[in-house]
Structure 1
């Protein structure tokens, strides 16, 4: 079983300042499989403290230059905000800088505010998404592309061929089924109800997808006891749920309104406690999902978790959870 870290700073984002490189190296030393960088824009300083969101490809390149083993993923890049050929060049460049450590996560988008400000399509149709994604993938290949009547050859090519592992983020049936039919992985974000995840995986499996290849996102915090975990994490839970109530997640159906109440959020959306309790909760999650072989941990709690708590939690995940679950094998 693999353990990744996910967030706008690869899961190691902090409150209004960044120790990205230091903490990325720390995560690599602890043996985490990957850091997954979210693409986020327009974080409002007026909302108080919270995460510092960096440009994901640039942040991943900086981490790539200072690490050697940990993989660098995106959860997710928003395809309508990029020219597909330029995106292919940047992902291939990152694959070279990292010596073949890129996980290419992509979404068809849907944020109207992003579209208005970047003068972009709000959300690709399925057809538009697949056309532009195929341009990216063809740019990775050895064949020439015909654009506007001109044949062009795209460089560089990625180290990982035919392309870096592809992960598509969506909760819509048409995109999930498309991904399964074309042997593409999907990725499940952690800021969503477990019911949404299990429904998406049911569709994916029904269309021929392999659930074991799907990174499953969940908030997680580990301390030396259940009591200490709750005491240490509770101030962060209050800040985070207050933030999430403001960003309109319930309107998109990602999460139910009652799940944003702090007590419900702690119990339903977060794996928290001492090591033995967290092992039990992960096993329970695996029982509900099926062949889960990749847990993608939202470890920074949107940057609200203090640095020392973050580091202590990562240490305990590394020493108390990862050896137990890695011994079970599986994954990709």
Structure 2
């Protein structure tokens, strides 16, 4: 089973981002498979705490230059904000710098605020999304492309062939079906009700996709005991749920309003407790999803989790959870 870390700063975000490189190297030493960076803009950190988002490709380049093994993914880049050829150049450059460690997560958009401010289309249709994404992927190939009436050869080329693995972020039936039919992976976001996730996974598998290749996001916190976990995490839960209630998540139907109440959120949206409890919850999740084999831990809790708690949780995750699942797979 694979275990990654996901968030605005690759799951190692704090209420400041000055330590992201140090913590990315720390996560690599602990044995995590990957770091996934969100693309988010205009996040307002209240009282100097919480979501401070960096430019994901720039941050990924810095992480790539200071690590050697951990994979670097995007969860997700927003395709309407990029020219496809420029995006291909930047991703290929990152793949070269990292020696082939890039996971290309992408979405078709949908944030009206971003489109208003950046002056772009809000969301691509399925056909527009396919057209622009395929242009990115074709730019990774060895043939010239005809763009604007000119034949051009695009450099550089990625190390991974034919291109870095593609992960599509969507809960829309037509996009999930299209992803499976075109041999693309999907990626499940961590702040989504289980019924919505299970419906999306069902569509994906019925269309030919493999749930084992789907990174599945959930908030995760590991402590010495269940009691300690809740005591240590509760102040973070209160700050996080207060933040989430004000960003319009319930409007899109991804999560119900009552699931953002702190107690419900802790029980339904967070895997927290002793190592044994966390292992049990992950095993239950694997069974419920029909074989989920890639857990992305939203370990930084939007930057609200104090550094000491983050480090302690990651250390216990590394020593008490990852090896146990690896041992199970060898039997």
Report the TM-score when normalising by structure 1.
0.98
Aligned to 1:230: 230
Aligned to 1:316: 316
Is contact 2:45–2:51 with CA below 8 Å preserved after alignment?
Answer: no
Distance 2:17 2:27 in 1: 18
Alignment of 1:33-112 (within 5 A): 33-46=33-46, 49-112=49-112
Aligned to 1:211: 211
Aligned to 1:177: 177
Aligned to 2:151: 151
Distance 2:46 2:304 in 1: 15
The worse-fitting range, judged by mean Cα deviation, of 218-227 and 284-293 is 284-293
Q: Residue 328 of structure 2: SS of its match in structure 1? A: coil
Alignment of 1:251-270 (within 5 A): 251-270=251-270
Q: Residue 246 of structure 1: SS of its match in structure 2? A: coil
Q: CA deviation at 1:148?
A: 1.6
Q: CA deviation at 1:78?
A: 0.2
Aligned to 1:163: 163
Distance 1:47 1:266 in 2: 23
Distance 1:329 1:120 in 2: 46
Distance 1:143 1:254 in 2: 41
Q: CA deviation at 1:47?
A: 6.3
Aligned to 1:24: 24
Distance 2:48 2:68 in 1: 35
Q: CA deviation at 1:327?
A: 2.6
RMSD value, Cα: 1.0
Q: What is the CA deviation profile of residues 149-201 of structure 1, one whole-angstrom value per residue up to 9, with x for unaligned ones?
A: 21111100000010001100000001000000011000001011111111100
The worse-fitting range, judged by mean Cα deviation, of 45-54 and 101-110 is 45-54
Distance 1:176 1:327 in 2: 33
Distance 1:16 1:195 in 2: 34
Aligned residues: 330
| Runs of at least 5 residues in structure 1 that lack an aligned partner in the other structure | none
Is contact 1:18–1:52 with CA below 8 Å preserved after alignment?
Answer: no
The worse-fitting range, judged by mean Cα deviation, of 43-52 and 120-129 is 43-52
Aligned to 1:306: 306
Q: Residue 39 of structure 1: SS of its match in structure 2? A: coil
Distance 1:253 1:107, change over 3 A: same
Q: CA deviation at 1:143?
A: 1.4
Distance 1:329 1:183, change over 3 A: farther
Distance 1:172 1:160, change over 3 A: same
Distance 1:45 1:166 in 2: 31
Q: What is the CA deviation profile of residues 242-286 of structure 1, one whole-angstrom value per residue up to 9, with x for unaligned ones?
A: 000000000011110000000000000000000000111111111
Q: What is the CA deviation profile of residues 2-47 of structure 1, one whole-angstrom value per residue up to 9, with x for unaligned ones?
A: 0000001000000134310110010000000000000000011456
Q: CA deviation at 1:123?
A: 0.3
Report the TM-score when normalising by structure 2.
0.98
Q: Residue 68 of structure 2: SS of its match in structure 1? A: coil
Q: Residue 318 of structure 1: SS of its match in structure 2? A: helix
1:188 aligns with 2:180: no
Distance 2:321 2:292 in 1: 15
Is contact 2:179–2:185 with CA below 8 Å preserved after alignment?
Answer: yes
